[in-house]
Structure 1
Protein backbone atom coordinates (compact mmCIF):
# COMPACT_ATOMS: atom_id res chain seq x y z
CA UNK A 1 0.00 0.00 0.00
CA UNK A 2 2.97 2.34 0.48
CA UNK A 3 4.52 1.62 -2.92
CA UNK A 4 4.74 4.67 -5.16
CA UNK A 5 2.46 4.62 -8.20
CA UNK A 6 3.79 6.31 -11.32
CA UNK A 7 1.42 8.85 -12.87
CA UNK A 8 -0.16 8.67 -16.31
CA UNK A 9 2.19 9.66 -19.11
CA UNK A 10 5.28 8.27 -17.40
CA UNK A 11 7.70 6.55 -19.77
CA UNK A 12 9.34 3.41 -18.39
CA UNK A 13 11.82 0.85 -19.63
CA UNK A 14 10.66 -2.71 -19.05
CA UNK A 15 12.83 -5.75 -18.58
CA UNK A 16 13.08 -7.24 -22.10
CA UNK A 17 12.71 -10.76 -20.67
CA UNK A 18 9.05 -9.91 -19.99
CA UNK A 19 8.38 -10.09 -23.73
CA UNK A 20 10.75 -12.90 -24.76
CA UNK A 21 11.73 -14.91 -21.69
CA UNK A 22 13.39 -17.63 -23.78
CA UNK A 23 15.72 -15.23 -25.59
CA UNK A 24 18.71 -13.28 -24.30
CA UNK A 25 18.11 -9.70 -25.39
CA UNK A 26 19.36 -6.35 -24.22
CA UNK A 27 17.21 -4.12 -26.40
CA UNK A 28 15.10 -1.83 -24.20
CA UNK A 29 11.33 -1.77 -24.43
CA UNK A 30 9.83 1.61 -23.60
CA UNK A 31 6.20 2.05 -22.61
CA UNK A 32 4.03 5.07 -21.85
CA UNK A 33 1.75 4.43 -18.88
CA UNK A 34 -1.86 4.93 -19.99
CA UNK A 35 -3.72 3.30 -17.07
CA UNK A 36 -3.32 2.10 -13.51
CA UNK A 37 -5.08 -0.35 -11.18
CA UNK A 38 -6.47 -2.66 -13.89
CA UNK A 39 -8.38 -5.60 -12.36
CA UNK A 40 -9.04 -8.59 -14.66
CA UNK A 41 -12.62 -9.80 -14.28
CA UNK A 42 -12.97 -12.70 -11.87
CA UNK A 43 -9.63 -12.13 -10.09
CA UNK A 44 -8.76 -10.85 -6.65
CA UNK A 45 -5.64 -9.23 -8.07
CA UNK A 46 -4.91 -6.23 -10.28
CA UNK A 47 -2.21 -4.97 -12.62
CA UNK A 48 -0.67 -1.76 -11.31
CA UNK A 49 -0.07 -0.50 -14.86
CA UNK A 50 -1.04 -0.72 -18.49
CA UNK A 51 0.68 1.10 -21.30
CA UNK A 52 1.48 1.39 -24.97
CA UNK A 53 4.82 0.94 -26.69
CA UNK A 54 6.81 4.14 -27.17
CA UNK A 55 7.03 5.77 -29.72
CA UNK A 56 4.43 3.71 -31.62
CA UNK A 57 1.44 4.15 -29.31
CA UNK A 58 -1.82 2.28 -29.71
CA UNK A 59 -1.69 0.97 -33.29
CA UNK A 60 -4.56 -1.49 -32.75
CA UNK A 61 -7.61 -1.00 -30.52
CA UNK A 62 -7.00 -2.29 -26.99
CA UNK A 63 -3.40 -3.29 -27.76
CA UNK A 64 -2.11 -2.48 -24.30
CA UNK A 65 0.64 -4.11 -22.30
CA UNK A 66 -0.26 -4.90 -18.67
CA UNK A 67 2.64 -4.99 -16.24
CA UNK A 68 3.74 -4.83 -12.62
CA UNK A 69 6.28 -2.63 -10.84
CA UNK A 70 9.10 -5.25 -10.65
CA UNK A 71 9.21 -5.37 -14.46
CA UNK A 72 10.23 -1.70 -14.60
CA UNK A 73 13.99 -1.48 -15.03
CA UNK A 74 14.13 2.31 -15.24
CA UNK A 75 11.84 5.34 -15.19
CA UNK A 76 12.76 7.42 -18.25
CA UNK A 77 10.27 10.28 -17.71
CA UNK A 78 7.74 10.87 -14.96
CA UNK A 79 4.23 12.02 -15.84
CA UNK A 80 2.45 14.97 -14.28
CA UNK A 81 1.44 14.61 -10.63
CA UNK A 82 -0.66 17.02 -8.60
CA UNK A 83 -3.10 16.85 -5.67
CA UNK A 84 -5.84 15.22 -7.77
CA UNK A 85 -3.40 12.50 -8.87
CA UNK A 86 -2.45 11.83 -5.24
CA UNK A 87 -6.15 11.71 -4.26
CA UNK A 88 -6.91 9.26 -7.10
CA UNK A 89 -4.01 7.00 -6.08
CA UNK A 90 -5.17 6.98 -2.46
CA UNK A 91 -8.79 6.32 -3.46
CA UNK A 92 -7.81 3.37 -5.69
CA UNK A 93 -5.53 1.83 -3.08
CA UNK A 94 -8.26 2.15 -0.46
CA UNK A 95 -10.91 0.63 -2.75
CA UNK A 96 -8.86 -2.24 -4.19
CA UNK A 97 -6.61 -3.17 -1.29
CA UNK A 98 -8.58 -2.31 1.82
CA UNK A 99 -12.23 -2.56 0.74
CA UNK A 100 -11.94 -5.45 -1.74
CA UNK A 101 -8.88 -7.19 -0.28
CA UNK A 102 -7.08 -7.27 -3.63
CA UNK A 103 -3.32 -7.40 -4.19
CA UNK A 104 -1.08 -6.59 -7.11
CA UNK A 105 -0.76 -9.55 -9.47
CA UNK A 106 2.95 -9.80 -8.68
CA UNK A 107 2.10 -10.94 -5.14
CA UNK A 108 -0.09 -13.83 -6.30
CA UNK A 109 1.80 -16.57 -8.17
CA UNK A 110 -1.42 -18.60 -8.37
CA UNK A 111 -3.34 -15.77 -10.11
CA UNK A 112 -0.36 -15.10 -12.40
CA UNK A 113 -0.24 -18.75 -13.49
CA UNK A 114 -4.01 -18.84 -14.01
CA UNK A 115 -3.96 -15.66 -16.10
CA UNK A 116 -1.04 -16.90 -18.22
CA UNK A 117 -2.89 -20.17 -18.86
CA UNK A 118 -6.02 -18.29 -19.94
CA UNK A 119 -4.05 -15.99 -22.24
CA UNK A 120 -2.30 -18.87 -24.02
CA UNK A 121 -5.62 -20.65 -24.74
CA UNK A 122 -6.58 -18.07 -27.37
Structure 2
Protein backbone atom coordinates (compact mmCIF):
# COMPACT_ATOMS: atom_id res chain seq x y z
CA UNK A 1 0.00 0.00 0.00
CA UNK A 2 1.31 3.44 -0.91
CA UNK A 3 -0.09 6.77 0.13
CA UNK A 4 0.78 9.85 -1.90
CA UNK A 5 0.58 13.47 -0.81
CA UNK A 6 1.61 16.29 -3.08
CA UNK A 7 2.02 19.81 -1.73
CA UNK A 8 3.10 22.39 -4.31
CA UNK A 9 6.45 21.02 -5.53
CA UNK A 10 7.07 18.48 -2.75
CA UNK A 11 5.90 14.90 -2.83
CA UNK A 12 5.73 12.44 0.08
CA UNK A 13 5.37 8.72 -0.52
CA UNK A 14 4.54 6.64 2.54
CA UNK A 15 4.81 2.86 2.25
CA UNK A 16 3.05 0.36 4.54
CA UNK A 17 2.94 2.36 7.72
CA UNK A 18 0.52 2.26 10.62
CA UNK A 19 -2.24 4.82 10.17
CA UNK A 20 -1.07 6.77 13.23
CA UNK A 21 2.32 7.31 11.57
CA UNK A 22 0.67 8.49 8.37
CA UNK A 23 -1.55 10.91 10.29
CA UNK A 24 1.43 12.26 12.27
CA UNK A 25 3.40 12.92 9.11
CA UNK A 26 0.45 14.58 7.38
CA UNK A 27 -0.07 16.84 10.40
CA UNK A 28 3.64 17.73 10.43
CA UNK A 29 3.58 18.58 6.72
CA UNK A 30 0.50 20.78 6.92
CA UNK A 31 0.81 22.46 10.32
CA UNK A 32 2.11 26.01 10.51
CA UNK A 33 5.22 26.35 12.69
CA UNK A 34 5.51 29.56 14.66
CA UNK A 35 8.67 31.55 13.93
CA UNK A 36 11.30 32.49 16.48
CA UNK A 37 10.34 35.54 18.52
CA UNK A 38 6.66 34.66 18.56
CA UNK A 39 4.97 35.35 21.88
CA UNK A 40 2.39 32.80 22.97
CA UNK A 41 0.13 32.27 25.92
CA UNK A 42 0.82 28.77 27.23
CA UNK A 43 -1.69 26.83 29.28
CA UNK A 44 0.45 25.41 32.07
CA UNK A 45 -2.18 22.79 32.83
CA UNK A 46 -1.19 21.21 29.50
CA UNK A 47 2.42 21.13 30.71
CA UNK A 48 1.50 19.59 34.05
CA UNK A 49 3.73 22.08 35.88
CA UNK A 50 3.36 22.35 39.59
CA UNK A 51 3.08 25.98 40.66
CA UNK A 52 3.29 27.72 44.01
CA UNK A 53 0.33 29.97 43.12
CA UNK A 54 -2.75 29.13 41.06
CA UNK A 55 -1.88 30.18 37.50
CA UNK A 56 -3.66 29.07 34.36
CA UNK A 57 -1.65 30.67 31.55
CA UNK A 58 1.77 32.25 31.16
CA UNK A 59 3.39 34.12 28.28
CA UNK A 60 6.47 32.72 26.59
CA UNK A 61 8.74 33.94 23.79
CA UNK A 62 9.70 31.15 21.39
CA UNK A 63 13.50 30.92 21.27
CA UNK A 64 14.05 27.47 19.73
CA UNK A 65 12.16 24.80 17.80
CA UNK A 66 12.42 21.12 16.99
CA UNK A 67 14.59 20.16 20.00
CA UNK A 68 15.57 16.51 20.36
CA UNK A 69 17.76 14.55 22.71
CA UNK A 70 20.45 12.52 20.93
CA UNK A 71 19.16 9.25 22.38
CA UNK A 72 15.50 9.70 21.44
CA UNK A 73 13.44 9.67 18.25
CA UNK A 74 11.00 12.28 19.53
CA UNK A 75 11.30 16.04 19.39
CA UNK A 76 9.63 18.92 21.17
CA UNK A 77 8.24 21.49 18.73
CA UNK A 78 8.86 24.59 20.85
CA UNK A 79 11.16 25.98 23.51
CA UNK A 80 10.35 29.31 25.10
CA UNK A 81 11.44 31.58 27.88
CA UNK A 82 8.93 33.12 30.23
CA UNK A 83 7.88 36.65 29.33
CA UNK A 84 8.73 39.28 30.60
CA UNK A 85 11.58 37.76 32.66
CA UNK A 86 13.58 36.30 29.78
CA UNK A 87 15.66 33.99 31.95
CA UNK A 88 17.34 31.69 29.40
CA UNK A 89 18.29 29.24 32.18
CA UNK A 90 14.60 28.52 32.74
CA UNK A 91 13.40 27.17 29.44
CA UNK A 92 9.88 25.96 28.88
CA UNK A 93 9.37 23.07 26.44
CA UNK A 94 5.92 22.68 24.93
CA UNK A 95 3.86 21.30 22.08
CA UNK A 96 1.19 22.95 19.94
CA UNK A 97 -1.54 21.68 22.26
CA UNK A 98 -0.20 23.81 25.11
CA UNK A 99 -0.50 27.04 23.10
CA UNK A 100 -3.67 28.82 24.17
CA UNK A 101 -3.20 32.02 22.14
CA UNK A 102 -0.62 33.50 19.77
CA UNK A 103 -0.08 37.04 21.05
CA UNK A 104 2.64 38.12 18.63
CA UNK A 105 3.74 36.37 15.45
CA UNK A 106 7.55 36.48 15.01
CA UNK A 107 9.46 37.58 11.91
CA UNK A 108 9.28 35.32 8.91
CA UNK A 109 10.56 35.41 5.33
CA UNK A 110 11.39 32.98 2.53
CA UNK A 111 14.52 31.83 4.32
CA UNK A 112 12.42 30.90 7.37
CA UNK A 113 9.95 29.01 5.19
CA UNK A 114 12.79 27.10 3.49
CA UNK A 115 14.36 26.24 6.87
CA UNK A 116 11.09 24.90 8.30
CA UNK A 117 10.45 22.85 5.13
CA UNK A 118 13.97 21.39 5.35
CA UNK A 119 13.56 20.47 9.03
CA UNK A 120 10.17 18.86 8.36
CA UNK A 121 11.70 16.81 5.54
CA UNK A 122 14.52 15.64 7.84
CA UNK A 123 12.07 14.73 10.61
CA UNK A 124 10.09 12.55 8.21
CA UNK A 125 13.22 11.06 6.62
CA UNK A 126 14.70 10.08 10.00
CA UNK A 127 11.39 8.83 11.40
CA UNK A 128 11.18 11.25 14.31
CA UNK A 129 7.86 12.08 15.92
CA UNK A 130 6.63 14.96 18.03
CA UNK A 131 6.01 14.67 21.74
CA UNK A 132 2.52 15.78 20.72
CA UNK A 133 1.92 12.14 19.79
CA UNK A 134 3.91 10.51 22.60
CA UNK A 135 2.12 7.96 24.73
CA UNK A 136 2.93 9.11 28.33
CA UNK A 137 3.44 12.63 27.03
CA UNK A 138 2.70 14.19 30.40
CA UNK A 139 5.64 12.52 32.11
CA UNK A 140 8.06 13.09 29.24
CA UNK A 141 7.28 16.80 28.87
CA UNK A 142 7.43 17.23 32.63
CA UNK A 143 10.92 15.69 32.67
CA UNK A 144 12.06 18.16 30.02
CA UNK A 145 11.05 21.23 32.02
CA UNK A 146 14.05 22.69 33.80
CA UNK A 147 13.38 24.06 37.29
CA UNK A 148 10.52 26.36 36.41
CA UNK A 149 9.13 28.09 39.48
CA UNK A 150 6.04 30.21 38.89
TM-score by length of 2: 0.67
Query: Residue 140 of structure 2 aligns with which residue?
Result: 115
Q: Structure 1: any 5+ residue segments left out of the alignment?
A: none
- CA shift for structure 1 position 59: 5.2
Alignment counterpart, residue 104 of structure 1, candidates 125, 130, 138: 130
Measure the CA separation in 2 of the matches of 1:82 and 1:116: 30
Q: Where do residues 33-48 of structure 1 align in structure 2 (5 Å cutoff)?
A: 33-48=62-77
Q: Structure 2: any 5+ residue segments left out of the alignment?
A: 1-27, 146-150
Give RMSD over aligned pairs.
2.4
Which structure's CA Rg is the greater one?
A: 2
TM-score by length of 1: 0.81
Measure the CA separation in 2 of the matches of 1:65 and 1:24: 18
- CA shift for structure 1 position 119: 5.8
Query: Residue 20 of structure 1 aligns with which residue?
Result: 50
Q: Secondary structure at the match of 1:9?
A: coil
Structure with the larger strand share: 2
Measure the CA separation in 1 of the matches of 2:65 and 2:135: 20
Measure the CA separation in 2 of the matches of 1:81 and 1:11: 14
Counting matched residue pairs gives 114
CA shift digits 1:26-75 (9 cap, x unpaired): 3x300000000101221111000001000100253xx2111100000000
